[in-house]
């Protein structure tokens, strides 16, 4: 495994860094307070290829690999976790599902619009009462001639309201049976497809999270991705890669919090010296730096395997589990270093603290990651 960043990776990271400073940083708290999903920013990222990072150039994408993708998400997330989350969801879930399992006609139809951010993508697996229990989902698709009729509700969907297109996993068989779900693409504007409640969240407030509701929603069989009954297997493969992006999101948030805390510790004086001189503070920074580096190594390992087309179930889960927990711990300690100021919205660490927690929940909780890892360790 070779983890030394290439010149291309460094250039891509610098592009994302510059973009975040110019287009995102000035508006971070404004978007957070208003819970505005800044669509215009994603359109601008589309112009730079950041919305189709892994999509081959023939479909309008940047044609880059997972090391570049990781670098982009980290740089954006260091400035705003909300934008990083939406960037990750668009690329890893909706777009990558079509790229991975769509036929040539489907790829040509939808990927160019997604890769350029002409369209924003959503991905629907989770339901109100079936989070990790996807085999018991209530959203169903019933064949009717050459069409399918969808009924049900998907919840906690990134871009569930503003997304122009969604990949939706629906049950097409009996509950809790093998091969009982199928993936479909549904375009916004299709009759019977509407948005429901938008969630009022603790953190990641500029990343839209909402319900998607299907009421006798009729779509053509041409919108089906892969074989009937293959939806859950597809979803698990997409989540394997998606967890790398959430690990990158976590590492970016952790680095943002760590850098802010380090800078503050050198500027804040107590007892006639910077607080970084005190062991109680310097040891916190040492722990942060070590755990962030360990997160990066796990992420790089998963990226390397993904680039080589290898199975990444265990390594992706490890990276996501560890990096997300480190993000929460790092953000917590950053607030401690800032003291009372860290508890105010005048400094950035309180937002890192709020945003970080989602990383231990989305795309499989930490508990689910440990379940995946243990299964792979014991039976893999």
CA atoms within 13 A on the CB side of 15: 18
Q: CA 280: distance to chain centroid?
A: 34
Calpha distance 295→250 (Å, rounded): 9
Instruction: State how far the Cα of 114 lies from the Cα of 110, in Å rounded to an integer.
Output: 6
Q: How far apart are the C-alpha atoms of 114 and 366, rounded to whole Å?
A: 30
**Cα–Cα distance, 223 to 278 (Å, whole number):** 61
Alpha-carbon span 71 to 136, nearest angstrom: 36
Going by their DSSP bridges, the two strands 147-158 and 181-187 should be labelled as unpaired
Angle (deg, nearest 10), helices 349-356 and 81-88: 30
Query: Is 373:321 a contact under the CB 8 Å cutoff?
Result: yes
How far apart CA 364 and CA 17 sit, in angstroms, is 28
Q: Which of 30, 36, 363, 367 is catalytic?
A: 363
The pair of three-digit structure tokens given for residue 170, joined into one six-digit string: 């629906």
Provide CB contacts within 8 A for 192, sequence distance 6+. 150, 214, 215, 216, 217, 218
Active site residue 215: no
* 342: its two tokens: 């860290």
Other CB atoms closer than 10 Å to residue 322's CB: what's the count?
A: 22
Positions annotated as catalytic residues are: 363
């Amino acid at each position: 495994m070779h983890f030394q960043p290439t010149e291309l990776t460094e250039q891509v990271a610098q592009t994302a860094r510059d973009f975040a400073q110019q287009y995102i940083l000035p508006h971070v708290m404004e978007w957070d307070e208003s819970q505005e999903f800044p669509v215009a920013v994603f359109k601008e990222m589309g112009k730079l290829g950041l919305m189709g990072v892994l999509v081959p150039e023939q479909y309008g994408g940047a044609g880059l690999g997972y090391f570049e993708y990781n670098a982009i998400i980290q740089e954006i997330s260091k400035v705003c976790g909300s934008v990083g989350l939406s960037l990750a969801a668009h690329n890893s879930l909706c777009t990558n599902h079509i790229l991975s399992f769509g036929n040539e006609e489907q790829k040509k139809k939808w990927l160019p619009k997604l890769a350029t951010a002409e369209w924003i993508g959503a991905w629907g697996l989770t339901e109100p009462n079936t989070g990790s229990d996807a085999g018991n989902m209530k959203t169903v698709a019933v064949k009717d001639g050459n069409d399918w009729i969808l009924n049900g509700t998907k919840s906690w969907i990134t871009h569930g309201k503003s997304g122009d297109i969604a990949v939706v996993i629906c049950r097409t068989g009996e509950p809790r049976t093998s091969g009982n779900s199928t993936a479909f693409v549904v375009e916004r504007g299709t009759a019977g497809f509407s948005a429901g409640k938008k969630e009022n969240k603790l953190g990641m407030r500029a990343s839209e999270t909402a319900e998607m509701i299907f009421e006798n929603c009729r779509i053509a069989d041409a919108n089906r991705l892969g074989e009937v009954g293959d939806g859950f297997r597809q979803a698990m493969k997409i989540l394997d890669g998606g967890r790398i992006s959430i690990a990158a999101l976590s590492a970016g948030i952790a680095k943002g919090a760590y850098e802010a805390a380090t800078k503050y510790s050198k500027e804040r004086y107590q007892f006639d010296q910077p607080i970084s001189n005190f062991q109680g503070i310097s040891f916190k920074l040492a722990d942060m730096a070590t755990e962030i580096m360990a997160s990066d190594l796990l992420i790089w390992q998963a990226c390397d395997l993904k680039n080589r087309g290898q199975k990444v179930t265990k390594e992706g889960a490890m990276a996501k589990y560890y990096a997300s927990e480190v993000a929460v711990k790092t953000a917590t300690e950053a607030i401690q270093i800032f003291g009372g100021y860290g508890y105010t919205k005048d400094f950035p660490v309180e937002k890192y603290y709020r945003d970080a927690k989602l990383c231990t929940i989305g795309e499989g909780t930490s508990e689910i990651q440990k379940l995946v890892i243990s299964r792979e360790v014991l039976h893999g």
